[in-house]
Amino acid sequence: MLKRKSLNIVIKPQAAYAAEQSDPSSEKFVWSYKVEIHNNSRQTIQLLARRWFITDMAGKIEDIQGTGVVGLQPLIKPGYWFSYTSCCQLLTPLGTMEGYYEVQNLKQELFVVDIPKFVLSAPPAITRVYKSILH
């Protein structure tokens, strides 16, 4: 069982609606998101894996897990940070993402660091039109 600790690691996610990649008439809503991982601890860590829980406004939950992030398993030294950008697609104009990273220190002790929940939101006009179609 992995230890669930913050290790003084701060996760800062931020999402932006990608209108140019979305097609609301086909229920395709896309967001890019950037995550900053700040290592405020006194030890070097390596990000080994991630697990995301992506929930749309209909309550459907997608469970995504995999090795590293964007093909990398970065080492993050004390006082440094790592950021990456990725994307997410939903069938609805609103949703949330949350999850955790599995990290290890140089002693190969494994830990879980939570990714706080953040909102995926299309512009209000798109959301209103989508909701009116449903009713």
Other C-beta atoms closer than 10 Å to the C-beta of 85 total 12
Q: Are 11 and 103 in contact (CB under 8 A)?
A: no
Average pLDDT, the chain: 91
- Kindly indicate the confidence band of residue 5, based on its pLDDT and cuts at 50, 70 and 90: low
* CATH numbers and ranges of domains, the chain: 3-134 (2.60.40.1470)
| pLDDT of 127 | 66
- Kindly indicate the confidence band of residue 120, based on its pLDDT and cuts at 50, 70 and 90: very high
* More confident: 52 or 126: 52
* More confident: 96 or 7: 96
Q: Are 88 and 73 in contact (CB under 8 A)?
A: no
The CA distance from 131 to 18, in Å, is 19
Where in the chain does DSSP place strands (E)? Answer: 3-4, 9-17, 29-39, 45-56, 61-67, 75-76, 81-90, 94-105, 110-121
Q: Provide CB contacts within 8 A for 30, sequence distance 6+.
A: 17, 18, 21, 22, 87, 88, 89
| pLDDT of 7 | 78
Q: Which amino acid is at 34?
A: K
**What are the tens digits of pLDDT across the range 58-86?**
999 999 999 999 999 999 999 999 999 99
The CA distance from 130 to 49, in Å, is 35
| pLDDT of 129 | 62
Task: Indicate the pTM of the whole model.
Answer: 0.88
